[in-house]
């Protein structure tokens, strides 16, 4: 017979904070748990901190997406240069981007070296995990937390994607795919 009293509560014990799990659209501030039982919003200060944290996670997600594209371009330019093109895109030589594109179109599919593949895989895994996490935040159905995700993504897109490649957009070479948020 067990004499463990750890599950018993006493009047002197602090009240248990309960998570409110809503399956409908809500604007509840206090009592909301965000993804984990330990991330429990108990007051307005915790709510504001959570809102800012979620907004920053949305920003981070957009940064990771841009970083992935930059890494892909860097790897591709490096592979093309190794096969006979002297300049990388972005330098001052006229027509060099056209040379890179012409050379790349003749290369076909090429295997990426192990170190860049590891970096690509880590960036992809990080963005996938963060995307899934933000989707779970959405699943709180809390309008304010959803707003934090959307604002973070929007501000991140505004900050990190200030440039556009018109040819890529016009010819359907868009690296932005469907994601969870």
Please list the pLDDT of the chain residue by residue as tens digits (181 residues): 445 544 444 445 555 678 877 888 999 988 899 999 999 999 999 999 999 999 999 999 999 999 999 999 999 888 888 876 444 444 445 555 555 555 555 667 788 889 999 999 999 999 999 999 999 999 999 999 999 999 999 999 999 999 888 887 788 765 555 555 4
**Alpha helices, DSSP H, located in the chain:** 44-82, 96-107, 114-138, 143-160, 166-170
Q: What is the pLDDT of residue 174?
A: 57
Find out whether 42 and 31 touch, Cβ atoms under 8 Å: yes
In a 10 Å sphere around its CB, with 0-12 CB exposed, 13-18 middle and 19+ buried, how is residue 32 labelled? buried
The per-residue pLDDT for 11 is: 47
Which of helix, strand or coil describes residue 33? strand
Can you say whether the dihedral through the CA atoms of 170, 71, 179, 32 is positive or negative?
negative
Across 140-172, b (16+ Cβ under 10 Å) vs e yields bbbebbbebbeebbeebbeebeeeeeeeeeeee
Distance (Å, whole) CA 46 – CA 44: 5
Nearest alpha-carbon partner for 67 in 156, 167, 173: 156
For the chain, the structural domain boundaries read: 32-88+95-170
Which residues fall within 8 angstroms of residue 128, CB to CB, at 6 or more apart? none
Whether the Cβ atoms of residue 58 and residue 177 lie closer than 8 Å to each other = no
């Amino acid at each position: 017979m067990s004499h463990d009293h750890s599950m018993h509560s006493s009047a002197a014990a602090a009240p248990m904070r309960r998570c409110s799990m809503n399956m409908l659209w809500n604007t509840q501030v206090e009592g909301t748990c965000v993804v984990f039982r330990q991330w429990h919003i108990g007051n307005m200060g915790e709510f504001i901190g959570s809102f800012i944290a979620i907004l920053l996670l949305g920003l981070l997600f957009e940064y990771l997406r841009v970083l992935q594209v930059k890494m892909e371009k860097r790897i591709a330019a490096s592979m093309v240069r190794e096969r006979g093109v002297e300049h990388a895109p972005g330098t001052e030589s006229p027509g060099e981007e056209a040379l890179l594109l012409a050379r790349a179109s003749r290369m076909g599919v090429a295997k990426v070296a192990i170190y860049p593949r590891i970096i690509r895989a880590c960036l992809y895994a990080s963005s996938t995990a963060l995307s899934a996490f933000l989707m779970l935040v959405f699943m709180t159905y809390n309008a304010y937390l959803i707003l934090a995700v959307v604002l973070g993504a929007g501000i991140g897109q505004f900050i990190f994607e200030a440039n556009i490649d018109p040819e890529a957009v016009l010819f359907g070479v868009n690296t932005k795919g469907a994601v969870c948020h």
